[in-house]
A and B are shown apart, each in its own frame.
Chain A
């Protein structure tokens, strides 16, 4: 069964901290993995896409890693800001796309 799990479900940090969000998946035969953010009442914004052959992707303060063999991905956010507050979703691409339940991040000023 292809399941995607995100830990923690919620995270609250003070502004400026570095933080890591975790995503794990049960079936390693993935095509790619994508991280999104979702702001309340809004759609999804794509943050980073990692192909199955890649180990990591970086964009600004964000770095996502992928370890297919262990079924894990992490999203690292450096120097967090209050504007980073959102729900972060991990999505794994099989023949369809499986989403984790998300991590709700709050960055306090």
Chain B
């Protein structure tokens, strides 16, 4: 596709349920990033993939959060046993150059709005 796509666009779930959020990066982009934007807060970095590996998982807020990327393309962010504080917009971005120091422009998807009741 022409840009980064994310699905679903909106997700409402009950506390304690697991959710999966999907990101399709721009074709050919090797780097993929997940961020979270909570209401009234800034953007928070969660995890970064280079190819299928995640050299930096430092931003994941708890062990309920995990992410994987297969085939160097699609990534899934999974939140287990969701809590109300997990409610946020989850944004995915991709960039073309390998390595953190590549410094390439990040292109963002439209986000998934997660609401935990």
Q: Please count the residue pairs between chain A and chain B whose beta carbons lie under 8 angstroms apart in the complex.
A: 52
Instruction: Give every chain A residue within 8 A of B103 (Cβ-Cβ).
Output: 31-32, 51-52, 93
- B106–A46 contact, CB under 8 A? yes
- A96–B45 contact, CB under 8 A? yes
- A96–B106 contact, CB under 8 A? no
- A95–B56 contact, CB under 8 A? yes
A10-44 vs B, Cβ < 8 Å mask (1 yes, 0 no):
00000000000000000000011010100000111
- A43–B108 contact, CB under 8 A? yes
In the complex, residue of chain A having the shortest beta-carbon distance to the beta carbon of B45: A96
Interface size on B, residues (CB 8 A): 25
Shortest Cβ distance from residue B32 to the other chain A in the assembled complex, whole angstroms: 13
Partner of A98 from B45, B91, B101, B111 at Cβ < 8 Å: B45
- A99–B43 contact, CB under 8 A? yes
Interface residues of A, dominant DSSP: strand
In the complex, residue of chain B having the shortest beta-carbon distance to the beta carbon of A42: B110
In the complex, residue of chain B having the shortest beta-carbon distance to the beta carbon of A48: B105
- B108–A96 contact, CB under 8 A? no
Partner of A31 from B35, B58, B101, B109 at Cβ < 8 Å: B101
Instruction: Give every chain B residue within 8 A of A95 (Cβ-Cβ).
Output: 56, 100
Partner of A46 from B44, B58, B91, B108 at Cβ < 8 Å: B108
- A43–B109 contact, CB under 8 A? yes
- B58–A91 contact, CB under 8 A? no
* A101 to B43 alpha-carbon distance, docked (Å): 8
